[in-house]
Structure 1
Amino acid sequence: MSQAPQAGGLSDRLVDGLLDLISEGALAPGDSLPTVRELATRFAVTTPTIREALRRLQTTDAVRMRHGSGIYVGDGIHRMLLPNPNSTPLKDEHIVQLVEARLTIEPGIAALAAVNRTVDDVERLARAVDTAKRAPDDNRPKLNFHRELAAASGNQVLFEVVDSLLSARSREQRALRAQIENRVRDYEQHVAIFLAVEAGNAELARRLTEQHLHDLRTTVTDHLGTPE
């Protein structure tokens, strides 16, 4: 019978023990875990206690508990950064800071993507570019261009930074997109960045992404009436 580590509180020890179980078993997202009863026996605790530890892991999507089906490893098991889904709406000056953060980070990401992109990355970027041309009632999966660009960089931490900004701040990101009046230019800039990444031209990808986000910052500051 496995015993949880002795350091820390019981809940912390159980969380660590469950994570060790996933790691030592080389379990991947979608793989199943033992039942609650089996886990309780394994760690010599009651079923309500093991459920509490599982709920903690569920909040970060490290595990997923499906009623009537079982317990599975979640997509969040390998995440290093976690967005805060319960933060309050950003003030105007923070929205500008959000764009400035992206302006600082994403040009370098585009350059890395041009160097590290795979065939699959290029295909997903092409589909992300195509997403912008779809009709509102098109129910095919929609891919976000900037998220796919970050994924193509090959750097998991950078991907999670961008993914966290886009996921946790989806309300603000929608507001930012709504301020883009020149949709044709926005689309053409995405196409140009995509072509630079596809061609492996890191410096061009960096420069085009910087210009793209600089234009977005100008649009936002003009809309909010804040100085650049």
Structure 2
Amino acid sequence: MAETILVLEDDPAMQSFLSTLLKSHQHKVLSFTAGLPALQCLVTEPAELILLDLGLSDMDGQEWLQQLRGWCDTPVIVISARHSEQDKVQALDNGANDYVTKPFSAAELMARIRANLRKTADVRQVFAFGEVQLDPVSRTVQRSGQAVHLTKTEYDILLLLMQHADKVLTHNQILTRVWGKAYIDRPEYVRVHMAQLRQKLEANPAAPAFLKTESGVGYRLTLAATGV
């Protein structure tokens, strides 16, 4: 299967070059010029690798990298015209896996991409709690070995909670990531879908052991079963 690579680059000419290069090597390409839409995309459409320019239209690339690393381990290769050692060190400290300075050759970039993809090729992360398993590659969910059908919204919420296991996510964080910023301050949307998830995944939906409510704040997925 061709790997999906997300390209976050605000220069149209460079974005076009990168997309053409990657597609010529049979990669699927997700292209963005702004950071927030790219983060939202990654929640629902995982990529195997990210190419990140530090100069974005809506935020600094270093800030974007910090936000990403709060919940996602996808390899990131920074592609930047910033040549200073300080920029490179900061990017690596913020979670970048590699740093390529512009200008660069297509052969060099593809070599870096292959190297980073090899490191993760044999690592297929499956999220799990209790008797539930979620495979983000195949987008499947099982409970006690049996397939569970989730709607797209239910799946997106569950994946988000599992990526932030044991951390509280506020109603607005979930709404922004799953529905978009236009839907903030509509916590009833989340409540309805959380109730549906509990019906499908909890042994006792009325007293959930894993999908916990943080009263007045949001929700938390706990990895170890707890009482009410």
> Does the alignment reach a TM-score above 0.5?
no
Q: Which structure has the highest strand share of the two?
A: 2
Query: Highest Rg: 1 or 2?
Result: 1
Q: Which has the higher contact order (CA 8 A, sep 6+)?
A: 1
Q: TM (normalized to structure 2)?
A: 0.25
Q: Which structure has the highest helix share of the two?
A: 1
